[in-house]
């Protein structure tokens, strides 16, 4: 939906006198099925207690971000991190391969240290195996990266990294036979040498 969409919905809800709680989530299908989502709620502070049982049933915790629309803004920041770590991981795996180093050694070097993250390890595992079962689809992630780019521009923050990330993701989409059927980890194809 992005920042502009959230703002428009909040505006219409206000015009109609409706209570609006904006609550995007962090997590994919598996955390949703297990009730382990992180709820990024925003809306009237006086409704938090009333909504807590509902949000607690769907997620493992709720982060209240402020007035309606702030949850979507927080989601943009979280998705920017997700895109950054995914693209950075793919680039590191591709660079290791290109330099003749076993990419598994990249993961081994990070293991247990301050730069190690379960998310990067998961996506890198897919990249190394060449298997990309959909958890967060590449085409959906690319759409989100475009929304992040718009949010960065709206916030006056240079979008240099996100612009490059979108380029890599679009390059992967162009190289894949069915980009709608693969996980974000397939963005590794965006780093494949020309001619591959």
What is the pTM assigned to this prediction?
Answer: 0.91
Count how many residues are written for the chain. Answer: 196
Q: For tokens 């702030």, name the residue.
A: 70
Q: What rounded mean pLDDT belongs to the chain? A: 94
Contact predicate 150/3, CB 8 Å: yes
Q: Give SS3 for 195.
A: coil
What is the pLDDT at residue 30? Answer: 85
What is the pLDDT at residue 28? Answer: 85
Q: Give SS3 for 183.
A: strand
Q: Name 22's Cβ contacts closer than 8 Å, sequence gap at least 6.
A: 6, 9, 10, 41, 42, 43, 68, 69, 70, 71, 72
Q: Name 178's Cβ contacts closer than 8 Å, sequence gap at least 6.
A: none
pLDDT tens digit string along 45-75? 999 999 999 999 999 999 999 999 999 999 9
> Please, what are the domains in the chain?
2-71 (3.40.50.720), 72-191 (1.10.1040.10)
With bands split at pLDDT 50, 70 and 90, how would you rate the model's confidence at 91?
Answer: very high
pLDDT surpasses 90 at 10: no
What is the pLDDT at residue 42? Answer: 96
Nearest to 132 by CA among 170, 96, 184, 191: 184
What is the pLDDT at residue 7? Answer: 86
């Amino acid at each position: 939906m992005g920042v502009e969409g959230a703002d428009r919905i909040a505006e219409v809800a206000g015009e109609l006198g409706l209570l609006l709680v904006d609550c995007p989530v962090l997590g994919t299908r598996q955390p949703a099925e297990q009730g382990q989502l992180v709820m990024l709620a925003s809306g009237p502070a006086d409704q938090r207690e009333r909504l807590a049982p509902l949000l607690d049933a769907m997620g493992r915790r709720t982060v209240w971000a402020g007035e309606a629309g702030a949850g979507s803004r927080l989601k943009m920041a979280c998705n920017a991190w997700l895109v950054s770590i995914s693209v950075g991981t793919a680039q590191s795996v591709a660079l290791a391969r290109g330099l003749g180093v076993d990419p598994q050694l990249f993961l081994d070097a990070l293991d247990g240290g301050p730069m190690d993250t379960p998310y990067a390890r998961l996506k890198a595992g897919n990249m190394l195996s060449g298997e990309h079962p959909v958890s967060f689809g590449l085409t959906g992630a690319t759409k989100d990266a475009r929304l992040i780019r718009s949010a960065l521009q709206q916030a006056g923050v240079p979008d240099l990294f996100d612009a490059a990330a979108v380029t890599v993701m679009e390059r992967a989409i162009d190289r894949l036979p069915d980009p709608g059927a693969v996980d974000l980890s397939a963005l590794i194809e965006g780093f494949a040498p020309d001619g591959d």
